[in-house]
């Protein structure tokens, strides 16, 4: 099989390395992460605390978006009424 050398940042290397199980190669990890497929295989990848932080961040973002949408709608109603 042909191979290619690539350069990645230390952070990218660390993240890939953290995904390794046993003696999996980095090529195997990259293929697993980039393949389309069943998203359920990623269940449990986050700790409970990180999952809570992510959920809160998503909820906060949705709330901000809803507030901006409401504000824009009111401004448009003023313009067109």
The reported pLDDT for the residue numbered 35 is 84
Q: How far apart are CA 42 and CA 12, in angstroms?
A: 18
- In terms of Cα–Cα distance, which of 25, 26, 32, 28 is closest to 12? 26
Q: Please give the share of the chain, as a percent, with pLDDT higher than 70.
A: 100
pLDDT digits (tens, 9 = 90+) for 40-75: 777 888 899 999 999 999 999 999 999 999 999 999
Local structure of residue 39 (DSSP, 8 states)? G
Instruction: Dig out the tokens for 66 from the structure.
Output: 């809803």
Domain boundaries, given as residue ranges, for the chain:
1-36, 46-81
pTM: 0.46
């Amino acid at each position: 099989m042909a191979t290619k050398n690539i350069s990645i940042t230390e952070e990218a290397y660390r993240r890939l390395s953290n995904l390794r199980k046993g003696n999996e190669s980095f090529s195997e990890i990259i293929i697993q992460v980039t393949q389309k497929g069943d998203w359920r295989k990623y269940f449990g990848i986050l700790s409970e605390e990180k999952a809570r932080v992510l959920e809160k961040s998503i909820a906060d973002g949705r709330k901000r978006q809803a507030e901006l949408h409401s504000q824009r709608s009111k401004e448009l109603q003023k313009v067109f009424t």
